[in-house]
């Protein structure tokens, strides 16, 4: 049912409901800013929308700090057909790619959104566009009558009228050309490892415009749909974070505007043919390597006296993984004078990880690994700590949408759930440290369901049991080169060091060590300190976890193993010659 807009004072108000995600992201501001909810207009150009827009409508109409108004375009089909004039060969290739990747592209999957508002008192207004794609004059008047703080365009059939730029905080839209040639295609076309053409959030206000947010990350050179999926989820979570921080929006009265906004780029038939030739070669090479070799992680251990500095690699002993699984994410803990290694035990057959453990004797020999924690969902990265004479574990449980805490009942082989620290999150590799009388938790990808490598968030609490408060500068790191945690923070002299994964050349390529310069409730700063690259292990293609205690250091490394027992072929050299370090031979659920 369409609810007409009665007046400019908002007689129809949405039901107040705070989602679990908003509980985590809400942070009390130290500044005294104007009170009141954000009056947000949301323009949707269809009743059936991609999954990332469905997600945004759901979240934005549930936020306690937002008063939403939804405007629905009722006649966009003619204009949409006119805008879809791209080479038929490109459209066929893109359609096949989207169909093949369908299980992994939920951001692009079409969904009907009206059902979301059945139980919510949301003003819902039907509007129309003219032949040139602009709103009709009467509908512009209707939008202005809503007395909005901000207007958000979620779609591409409506051209933004400059007169709407006078709305309080202006008009926001996502520049992505998804009705023509997606921006991510040009990164594939040029072979850009880092995205240069991803979508942006554009603000128009009082005749000027600026880029509010730019997408970032690496490019999948084999699939446009996967690139679109990652970028769309990134845009969705960026919009959610930006619009949820209403105090910062209201305080940003004098933004710095940028005049250069990227124009659309035409695509010719010759460009498509040239691209498909290059793309076909990439696929053939990728499939050949994938069928000859598989990726396997193994654990390396180093004695204390042989590790004078973080990047030293002398005296490593390898703990080989069985053929049907791999071992990764090793963590050390000493308990009652005995040393143990906990790690991810990933089964190729079930495509799921469990947590296993082995004991290290005085001579550095490891006992037979034994599974100590298993769930119906994937587990990895078993972070361990001791508190109040009890041993606790926080394994990665991103697949369950949680950050879970377990307590040892009979160390090391029996564990019981203690509490769920956070829910409705996409966190990976949660890492705690007690510093300056406070507990700090670093976690990657907390608000990013598509990628766990690009952003790092920080939380603080008086107890490891919580409640946890989000840092006001989240995400504190937005860089695929070192955002994701790679092990425990540790002290080297007086310096606090944070290991981070470098995923710029593929997942788990290397480790970057950063010195933590500022760690407080209001600020965070770090400086690059050193690097640990895969060349320190002969034949290694990646390294993504490092941990140590008083006696040992442990790391993991990625190797390529022949599926058929070939001994005369060096798979690392083959991949280096053909792809550099850019292709993951066999993807696993991380």
Q: pLDDT for 90-109, tens place per residue?
A: 999 999 999 999 888 888 99
Residues 148 and 10: their CA atoms lie apart, in Å, by: 10
DSSP state of 387: E
Tens of pLDDT along 40-72? 999 988 888 999 999 999 999 888 888 899 988
Instruction: Enumerate the β-bridge partners of residue 419.
Output: 405
The structure tokens listed for 86 are 């791209």
CA atoms within a 13 Å half-sphere pointing along the CA-CB vector of 530? 9
DSSP E strands: which ranges in 223-367? 293-303, 317-319, 325-335, 338-347, 352-360
Burial (CB count <10 Å: 0-12, 13-18, 19+), residue 331:
buried
Interval 537-562 mean pLDDT: 88
Between 509 and 252, the higher pLDDT residue = 509
| Residue 405, pLDDT score | 97
**What are 380-402's pLDDT values in tens digits?**
999 999 999 999 999 999 999 99
- pLDDT class of 566 with cuts at 50, 70, 90: low
Q: How do the domains of the chain map onto residue ranges?
A: 38-263, 293-560
567 vs 17, higher pLDDT: 567
SS3 of 129-171: the string is: ECCCCEECHHHHHHHHHCCCCEEEEECCCCECCHHHHHCCCCE
What is the rounded CA–CA span in Å between residue 483 and residue 214?
A: 17
Name the DSSP letter for residue 369. Answer: P
Average pLDDT of the residues in 476-494:
91
CA distance 3 to 221: 46
pTM of the model: 0.76
Q: When comparing pLDDT for 221 and 36, which is higher? A: 221
> Mean pLDDT lowest for which of 389-398, 400-409, 488-497, 530-539?
530-539
CA 147, CA 153: separation in Å to the nearest integer?
16
Lowest average pLDDT, out of 63-67, 292-296, 368-372, 582-586, goes to: 582-586
**Which architecture does CATH list for 293-560?**
5 Propeller (2.115)
CB contact at 8 A, 234 and 455: no
Give the model confidence (pLDDT) of 456-473 as tens digits: 999 999 999 999 999 988
Looking at the DSSP bridge assignments, the partners of residue 294 are 561
573 and 559 Cβ atoms separated by less than 8 Å: no
More confident residue, 407 or 233: 407
Q: Cβ neighbours of residue 30 under 8 Å, at least 6 residues apart?
A: 472, 522
Q: pLDDT tens for residues 399-439?
A: 999 999 999 999 999 999 999 999 999 999 999 999 999 99
* pLDDT recorded at residue 32: 33
Q: Which residues contact 2 (CB under 8 A, 6 or more apart)?
A: 124, 125, 126
CATH architecture of the domain with residue range 38-263: 3-Layer(aba) Sandwich (3.40)
């Amino acid at each position: 049912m369409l609810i007409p807009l009665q007046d400019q004072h908002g007689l129809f108000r949405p039901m107040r409901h705070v989602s679990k995600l908003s509980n985590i992201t809400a942070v009390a501001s130290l500044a005294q800013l104007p009170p009141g909810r954000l009056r947000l207009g949301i323009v949707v150009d269809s009743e059936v929308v991609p999954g990332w827009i469905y997600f945004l409508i759901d979240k934005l109409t549930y936020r306690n700090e937002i008063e939403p108004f939804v405007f629905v375009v009722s006649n966009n089909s003619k204009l949409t057909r006119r805008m879809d004039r791209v080479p038929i060969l490109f459209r066929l290739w893109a359609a096949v790619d989207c169909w093949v990747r369908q299980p992994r592209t939920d951001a692009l999957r079409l969904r009907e959104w009206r059902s979301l508002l059945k139980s919510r008192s949301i003003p819902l207004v039907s509007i129309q566009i003219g032949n040139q794609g602009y709103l009709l004059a009467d509908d512009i008047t209707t939008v202005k009558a809503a007395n909005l703080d901000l207007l958000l365009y979620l779609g591409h059939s409506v051209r933004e009228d400059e007169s709407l730029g006078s709305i309080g905080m202006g008009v926001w839209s996502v520049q992505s050309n998804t009705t023509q040639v997606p921006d991510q295609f040009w990164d594939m076309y040029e072979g850009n490892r880092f995205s240069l053409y991803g979508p942006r959030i554009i603000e128009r206000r009082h005749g000027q415009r600026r880029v509010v947010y730019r997408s970032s990350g690496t490019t999948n050179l084999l699939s446009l749909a996967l690139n679109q999926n990652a970028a769309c989820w990134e845009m969705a979570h960026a919009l959610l974070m930006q619009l949820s921080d209403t105090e910062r929006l209201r305080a940003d009265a004098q933004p710095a505007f940028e005049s250069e906004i990227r124009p659309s780029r035409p695509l010719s038939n010759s460009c498509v043919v040239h691209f498909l030739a290059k793309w076909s070669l990439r696929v053939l090479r990728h499939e050949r390597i994938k069928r000859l070799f598989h990726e396997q992680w193994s654990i390396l251990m180093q004695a204390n006296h042989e590790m004078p500095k973080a990047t030293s690699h002398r005296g490593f002993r390898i703990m080989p993984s069985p053929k049907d699984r791999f071992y990764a994410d090793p963590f050390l803990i000493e308990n009652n004078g005995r040393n143990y290694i906990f790690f991810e035990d990933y089964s190729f057959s079930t495509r799921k990880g469990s947590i296993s453990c082995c004991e290290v004797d005085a001579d550095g020999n490891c006992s037979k690994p034994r599974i100590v924690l298993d769930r119906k969902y994937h587990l990895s990265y078993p972070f361990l700590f001791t508190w109040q004479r009890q041993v606790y574990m926080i394994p990665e449980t991103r697949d369950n949408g949680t950050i879970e805490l377990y307590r040892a009942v009979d160390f090391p082989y029996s564990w019981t759930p203690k509490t769920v620290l956070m829910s409705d999150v996409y966190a990976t590799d949660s890492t705690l440290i007690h510093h300056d009388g406070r507990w700090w938790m670093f976690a990657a990808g907390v608000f990013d369901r598509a990628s766990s490598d690009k952003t790092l968030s920080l939380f603080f609490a008086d107890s490891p049991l919580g409640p946890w408060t989000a840092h006001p500068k989240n995400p504190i790191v937005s860089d695929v080169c070192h955002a994701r945690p790679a092990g425990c923070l540790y002290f080297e002299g007086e310096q606090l060091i944070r290991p981070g994964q470098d995923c710029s050349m593929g997942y788990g390529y290397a480790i970057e060590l950063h010195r933590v310069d500022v760690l407080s409730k209001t600020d965070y700063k770090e400086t690059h300190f050193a690097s640990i690259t895969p060349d320190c292990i002969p034949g290694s293609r990646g390294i993504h976890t490092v941990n140590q205690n008083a006696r040992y250091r442990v790391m993991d490394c990625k190797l390529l193993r022949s599926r058929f027992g070939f001994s005369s072929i060096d798979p690392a050299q083959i991949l280096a010659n053909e792809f550099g370090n850019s292709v993951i031979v066999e993807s696993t659920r991380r």
